[in-house]
Amino acid sequence: MNTSHNITESEEKYWSRVEKSVLGPILSMEMVLGVLGNGLVLVVKIVCKDHFRCIYWLPFISLTLSDFFCSILIICGSLLAVLSEGQISPWCEVVSLLKFTFITSSIGSIAVLCVQRFLGIPSKGKVLSVVMAIACLASWCTGSVFGAVPVGYNWIKYDPAEMMCAVFWESSYSDMLVYILCTFLISIFVPLILILFCCILTYVGYGKDCARCVKLQLVHIEIWFDFEKTHPVMRLHVYILSLCSEDDMASVTPLLVILYLFCYAPFTASELILLGRLDLSPSPDWLRSLSSVMAYLDCGLNPLIYCTNKDFREAVLILLWNNKKLRPSEPILTSISKLEI
């Protein structure tokens, strides 16, 4: 978000050949990771869903869709803007709107995931799961609304530092203050509080996560007599069978939260600097560029975090190599204990 004075000066400041040689490969790598990684995740979740457990599948699908479309639209648009030195209307306004939508939907999906883990609400089978679905949809709608406001008021112009079209301000500090505070309080602050609150309580053991490994013990008792000996002997055989279900995809939630907070820290710092300057001067160019690069990095690294889950990783191998010998997602026999009395 920048002042019109800064944008006017920046329009003549295009990327140098050295800067393009650095930003080009970085953005290309992030775009490839985001498109291929999230595309593969979506295919695995649809085709190989029987090979891994994902009780809270709804926020995972929402987050993956957000990362996928951000990679194929926003990152690709920024890469083309760096190479062609600008974005033109109406694509300029579309990029700005979608940027807000994807940022809000990402943090909203993670917040819903953390709440579901804490309350033990699966994505189907309960009335509260409908509430969670509405919350995911609300995060997308909220981002679209806040993204549409600057477009409607014609506050959008291309910013070379952010490598995309951004919101700029002319002379009204009050308008900027109201808009940014409303955006942060509703779209960022509330989901962030829910994420931290639910994660901490789940970590200390107050959560009702229904995706934890379920252990089932079956006891089989055999009682028989041995009459062949002088004195009858009674023997009691007790077989204890322990079955354990596989780990759920929700085990990657802490890593998703840490990565999101790390990657969006520069973006938050950039907006806070803008709020603290009454003359509407923006944050430094390097910080705005870093905020875009780090936000794009989050989209590309999320699929790698999903693969830290063993069962999901095996499902990926099943899809890629069609290896049917890999173990299914049904409960397996882990131990047999025999006690003879």
Domain extent listing, the chain: 2-210+250-308, 213-247+324-341
Q: 337 pLDDT exceeds 60? A: no
Burial class (CB in 10 A: 0-12, 13-18, 19+), 215: exposed
pLDDT confidence band for 27 (50 / 70 / 90): very high
Identify the pLDDT of residue 66.
95
Q: Is 341 helix (H, G, I), strand (E, B) or coil?
A: coil
Q: Before 232, cis peptide (omega within 30)?
A: no
Is residue 2 within 8 Å of 159, Cβ to Cβ? yes
Average pLDDT over residues 138-155: 89
The more confident residue out of 296 and 160 is 296
Share the mean pLDDT of the chain.
79
Is residue 246 within 8 Å of 309, Cβ to Cβ? no
Identify the pLDDT of residue 12.
41
Alpha-carbon separation of residue 243 from 77, 160, 238 (angstroms): 50, 58, 16
CATH code that applies to domain 2-210+250-308:
1.20.1070.10
Average pLDDT over residues 56-80: 93
Q: Which of 39, 115, 70, 106 is nearest to 261 (CA)?
A: 106
Identify the pLDDT of residue 338.
55
Could you tell me which residues come within 8 angstroms of residue 9 by beta carbon, excluding any fewer than 6 positions away?
A: none
pTM summary value = 0.79
